[in-house]
Amino acid sequence: MVMAEPEETPRSQRPLAGGCAVAGDPSQPAAATPRRLTVWCKSLVFRGDGYTVFDDADGRMVFRVDNYGVGPGSMALMDHAGRVLLTVRRRQRKMLSLMPETWEVYNGDVDDDSNSNDGHGEPHLMMRATKDLGRSNCTASVHAVDEPQLYRLSWSRREEFSRIYRHSSTGDETLIAEVRRKRGGPEKATLLGKDVLSLVVQPGMDLAITMAMLMISNSYR
């Protein structure tokens, strides 16, 4: 597959659903219908852990995720050209601690040692997700300009799915993304390998933030 050279774009921020922003992603046009993506749970880097994500509409790469062999505690979510959009970090609980495990998602490339954000000031925390003790759920708060947007990440090992729900101010929940084992074949009746997933994202939801949530829920599933 031959990809055109990406155009050089200035360091800018585009709107994110809910009022916050994430580094510009040219792969994400406005959509009036759900986006369907194929998530391959493999890194493109030798001895790395990560994901490679393709758009079902045209087969092009949308995202790639790598930890560059340094362990699952920190991963970089990049666009097709290798620009880091988000850094996803796992904060492990201390031994015998009753505090729940948390995840932090930062805008751009955040260095593990210096906490720098590409040398442009303090890291910008985009999202924090907290594991619900004793349940197959995480509660995620996406930071916004006006007020945080709350989401619930749910998963099932037995039924092999992950779902993301958005909380409304009235307490209602709306399903905004779902991932399952991908099916192939003429009638889509054949389950593909466990490392090949199908992700459906509803209109208006940021794809990069959704992928970060999927990475978090998939770590438990």
Asked if residue 14 belongs to a domain, the reply is no
* Sign of the Cα pseudo-torsion (182, 58, 153, 43, in order): positive
pLDDT at 11: 36
Instruction: Please give the tally of structural domains in the chain.
Output: 1
pLDDT at 52: 93
pLDDT at 119: 46
- Report in angstroms the alpha-carbon separations of 71 from 49, 88, 193, 194: 8, 12, 23, 21
Domain holding 208, by residue range, is 35-107+123-219
- Report in angstroms the alpha-carbon separations of 62 from 39, 132, 178, 188: 10, 30, 17, 23
pLDDT at 92: 66
Q: Per-residue confidence of the chain (221 residues) as pLDDT tens digits?
A: 444 444 443 333 343 433 344 444 444 555 689 999 999 988 877 666 789 999 999 999 999 998 765 555 788 999 999 999 999 988 766 655 566 678 889 999 887 654 544 444 456 788 888 877 767 778 888 876 566 788 888 888 777 888 899 988 788 899 999 999 898 878 777 888 888 999 999 998 999 999 999 888 887 76
Query: What CATH number should be reported for the domain holding residue 183?
Result: 2.40.160.200
- Report in angstroms the alpha-carbon separations of 124 from 80, 81, 86, 139: 22, 22, 10, 20
pLDDT at 36: 95
Asked if residue 190 belongs to a domain, the reply is yes
**∠ Cα 111 113 118 (to 5°):** 25
Give the chain's end-to-end CA distance (angstroms, integer): 32
Asked if residue 27 belongs to a domain, the reply is no
How far is residue 68's CA from residue 102's CA, in Å, rounded to a whole number? 22
